[in-house]
Amino acid sequence: MNSLLIATTNPGKLNELRLFLGDLPLTLVSLTDAGITTYAEETGKTFAENAILKAKYYAEKSGFPTLADDGGFEIDALHGEPGVKSHRWVYGDRENTDEELIAHTMTRLNGTPEGKRGAQLRLVLALVTPDGKVYTAEEKVRGIIPLAPANKVTPGFPYRSLLYLPEINKYYNHDELTPEETDRYNHRKRALDKLRPILRGLLT
């Protein structure tokens, strides 16, 4: 059996990765499936450091090849904030709710003109293989932050309801994108595609 641990506590990420990996004959194992109840401390100063830290931690805990990611929202007018603090931006001592993060973003950008509301979602995927090798892939998707968020929020992905893609006149919510648009714009899928040759190697 070819198993791959998906090291995330975010149900939205887990579902998205399962969707994008559905064509590979891999048994995708969640942290719950693996009986893992402890969590890696994300002490890295970059997305890459945190992604690798998590992948190594959970690979050691589970004994499975492990895929982890770390990413966040980077707002031009705020000099790249919130970045690695994307999920603890409002209250640093706990994970923030989707609603808190959306409201805080809009408050911080209050008065920022439309022409200066550029932003991007960026992530790094890290894969640790059974022989201890570490592979990473990075991708991003750029857009703008309109004066109001989308009416719909995808649970676990608050910043997607803030990132608008002018070239297709849509917010970056997964359910709004066609399959073709997902192939073109989804940064997690594009990062995953870079790791596909390594993932296929797990099948041999």
CA distance 103 to 126: 31
Catalytic residues: 70
Count CA atoms closer than 13 A to 191's CA, side-chain side. 26
Confirm if 47 and 72 have CB atoms less than 8 A apart: yes
* 70 neighbors 7 (Cβ within 8 angstroms): no
For 169: left if phi > 0, alpha if psi spans -120 to 50, otherwise beta; the answer is: left
3-class DSSP state for residue 101?
helix
- Torsional class of 188: left (φ above 0), alpha (ψ -120 to 50), beta (otherwise): alpha
Q: How many CB atoms lie within 10 A of CB 42?
A: 16
How far are the Cα atoms of 54, 107, 116, 120 from residue 45, in angstroms, in the given order? 13, 25, 26, 18
Task: Return the SS3 of 109.
Answer: coil
User: Do the Cβ atoms of 141 and 120 come closer than 8 Å?
Assistant: yes
